Amino acid sequence: MSLSAHLSVIDCLMTDSKYSHENPFCLSFTYATHNPALLILKEKGYQLEIILDEEGDGSTFVATGPGRRFAANGGAELLGLVTVWEHFGIQWSQREPDLMNELIQENLEE
């Protein structure tokens, strides 16, 4: 495990001690999550590419499958988009129930 991935996991565990005891494993986004996510997408049959910005950094990750194309800033985000599509299909923008708003409200009430 790289140092950056290790520190990210520690940070994830340290954010709220009540959760670290209930869920001893915590994974958060790091550079190290790109490759595993891309491997999963490749196994699912998606064609992968990275569109580089002018500086030569990998700026946009793209996955193309039958009749669909997904773009994101990283491998894990790309896998998330594909998963949303695979789960909801054409109804991918489902807005009810509004869990995002519910989570924000719960946080504000604490």
- Average of per-residue pLDDT values in the chain: 80
If you write DSSP's letter for every residue of 72-99 in order, what string do you get? ESSHHHHHHHHHHHHHHGGGTT--SS-H
Confirm whether 101 is domain-assigned: no
- Cα 2 from Cα 17, distance rounded (Å): 24
Residue 97 falls within a domain, yes or no?
A: no
Q: How many folded domains does the chain comprise? A: 1
Q: Are 26 and 12 in contact (CB under 8 A)?
A: yes
Q: Does residue 105 lie within any of the structural domains?
A: no
| 69-107 residue pLDDT tens | 999 999 999 999 999 999 998 888 888 888 888 988 888
Q: Are 76 and 33 in contact (CB under 8 A)?
A: yes
Both structure tokens of 59: 């700026």
Output the furthest CA–CA distance in the chain (Å, rounded): 45
User: What residues make up the domain containing 30?
Assistant: 3-92
Is the full-model pTM beyond 0.85?
A: no
Residue 29 makes CB contacts below 8 A (sequence gap 6+) with 8, 74, 76
Any domain includes 47: yes
Q: What pLDDT is recorded for position 13?
A: 53
